[in-house]
Amino acid sequence: MIKKIRGTNKRPRLVIFRSNKHIYAQVIDDTCNKIITSSSTVNHIFKGYHKSYNNCKSARVIGQNIAEKSKALGIHEVIFDRQNKIYHGKIKALAEAVRQEGIKF
């Protein structure tokens, strides 16, 4: 049986999705079914600075960006949802960047 991770108003869910080319991070409130904020390597601001989009350095930048956006909205605690990906490499780099910015999970 698979347990589903759900976010609340006070502790929304930070979802990480990694494709072959890009990394996406979203903060979702599951009680309202609403995306609060998001960040990804597809963003036009990100594309000007980095040549490769799917590496640990890019994941750190996305982690810092999503943490800054979350803190600006008053979110200081989240539930981390890595979608059955192992906690290694890009997922780990993104999570550590989020933690270094002061978001707890």
The verdict on domain 13-100 having CATH code 3.60.15.10 is: no
Residue 2 is predicted with a pLDDT of 64
Residue 17: which H helix or E strand, with range?
A: strand 13-18
Residue 103 is predicted with a pLDDT of 95
Around Cβ 95, how many Cβ atoms within 10 Å? 21
pLDDT digits (tens, 9 = 90+) for 51-79: 777 789 889 999 999 999 999 999 999 99
Q: Yes or no: say if 76 and 88 are a contact pair by the CB < 8 Å rule.
A: no
pLDDT digits (tens, 9 = 90+) for 3-35: 788 888 889 999 999 998 889 999 999 999 999
Q: Domain ranges for the chain, please list them.
A: 13-100
List, in sequence order, every beta strand (DSSP E) within 1-105: 13-18, 23-29, 34-40, 79-81
- Residues listed for the chain: 105
Could you tell me the end-to-end alpha-carbon distance of the chain, in angstroms, rounded to an integer?
Answer: 24
